[in-house]
Amino acid sequence: MKPAKYKWIKVLLAGCVAVTLTATATATETPRPTPTPRPAPTPLPHPIPSITEVYAIADDGTPLHWNAFLPSGTGPWPAVLVIHGGGFRAGDPGSTEVAQALAAAGYLALAIEYRLAPPGLLAGQVSAGYYPDQTDDVKLAVRAARADSRCNGKVGAVGGSAGASHTAYVAATGTAGDDRIDVGVCLSGPYNYADPASLIDPLHPNFKEDVTNYVNSSDPAVLLAASPISFVTRSIAPLFLVASVDDSGMPPQQLPDMVAKLNATGVINYQQLTIAGSLHAFKYWGTVEESAKAFLAVGFAAVDLVHGTSQTEAALKPEASSTTKPMSSGSQSPEGKSPRQGSRASSWGIMIRPP
């Protein structure tokens, strides 16, 4: 791969955060609005209907479903899994806001279900849903999406909370072009289940309950072994990592832990985004929607540029400076839609103010 191509991808990603940005070194420098209004998503003129389908059968015989939202026009399209949260023990793909927005942007949006840890159960679920059942299911979804005739062979994911953890996991594990995603967006995810500060955080007591229940252990070594940060290598797929300053559903150390591991490993194909306020995961989708879609477009474009895979190790992170770079007009989202030409981004430490 010629260095010029890598540089071209870097310029694209430097402009992919398509909102008004203010660079920041620490979250404490930004005023904290109280209360935090929920950003309103861009309304769709006509809701996109979904099709419920079985995407795989889990190893315990559980039928696994997704709700498929098809873009307009003729496929095939890049597929994006929408992975729900719920503390690893609850949740379903019933919320359509994110999937509809992605389908309207030209992606085959697939809102998936996966087995749940106790007390949650899917219909027909036999296993307890402990690690690694859930991530095994997500890998089945990645593989099924890639093989789907409506998909062009490229698969990404957008996950919130526990779903963001699963997104990071399937970005770091598996085989490129098979059960590893090509690009991911992680909203308020837990990445280090063994982080000491997170486990005793009095403002987020559910964190310890959720991760120990999911892993079925309180042993720090076992928790760490199941954590996405334990699987980070330089071959990880491009990730857009987002959290809010006072995230109501996630300890504040989770995002810095993931970023530190990425940096220590030499990974540069990621962006970090911190938004003001206390909203959690998909609740701030209206604020980051355009940025997320732009990041997906760049990540999918990189698949074709780097030997037909998503291994963009030295390609995707913008220059670590305070300068801004415009989005290249050569970056196109699906169906020829350009992700906000002329948008600008600073270095990867970023603060967005809600509208």
Following DSSP, what letter does each residue of 147-158 receive, concatenated?
HSTTEEEEEEEE
Per-residue pLDDT, 340: 31
Q: Which position has the token pair 């985004």?
A: 273
Per-residue pLDDT, 38: 52
Per-residue pLDDT, 355: 35
- CB-CB contact of 229 with 191 (8 Å): yes
The β-bridge relationship of strands 183-187 and 151-160 is: parallel
> Both ends of the chain: CA-CA distance in Å?
41
The β-bridge relationship of strands 239-244 and 183-187 is: parallel
- CB-CB contact of 16 with 295 (8 Å): yes
Per-residue pLDDT, 39: 53
- For 238, half-sphere exposure in the C-beta direction (CA atoms, 13 angstrom radius) is 31
Type of residue found at 207: F
Q: What are residue 240's DSSP bridge partners? A: 185, 271
Helix or strand run (H / E) with residue 186:
strand 183-187
Q: What is the mean pLDDT of each run of 10 residues along the chain (355 residues)?
A: 43 44 32 47 72 98 98 96 98 92 98 98 98 99 99 98 99 98 99 99 98 99 99 98 98 99 98 98 98 98 68 40 30 39 32 39
* Cα–Cα distance measured from residue 167 to residue 237, given in angstroms and rounded to the nearest whole number: 10
What domains lie within the chain, and their CATH numbers? 3-52+132-137+155-352 (3.40.50)
Share the mean pLDDT of the chain.
82
